[in-house]
Amino acid sequence: KILLVGGADGKVPDQGLSNRDGVGAVVEVMSGDRSIKRVRRLGDGYAAQNSSTMTVGIGSEDTVQSIKVRWPSGKITKSGSPVSAGSVIIMNEVQ
């Protein structure tokens, strides 16, 4: 699971940073020989509520090689090392 934390928290004027929930961010997970892309969305469907974490299925793989987030601001954050299946990783937007 991936928790996206955008740079703008609403207390300070937007300084070129994304919204705090990372809505609109594109997450790319490299697992084995494939790349899995997902877009962070909230409020899908009627009376919907979404989890604050994003779950990306990786099949039978034990780890993913890397995770890359392209924030709505255009900034990019990458995981520094492989991530084990079943982990929760927090990806912060860099300033």
Supply the pLDDT for residue 94.
73
Instruction: Identify whether the C-beta of residue 86 lies closer than 8 Å to the C-beta of residue 78.
Output: no
pTM of the model: 0.78
**Residue 31 or 48, more confident:** 31
Domain ranges, ordered by start, for the chain? 2-92
**Residue 75 or 51, more confident:** 75
Mean pLDDT, range 21-48, rounded to an integer: 84
Say if residue 11's pLDDT is above 70: no
Say if residue 56's pLDDT is above 60: yes
Q: What beta strand segments (E) does 21-94 contain?
A: 26-31, 34-39, 53-54, 63-64, 66-70, 76-78, 83-84, 89-92
Residue of 53, 51, 92, 52 whose CA lies nearest to 73: 92
Mean pLDDT, range 58-83, rounded to an integer: 90
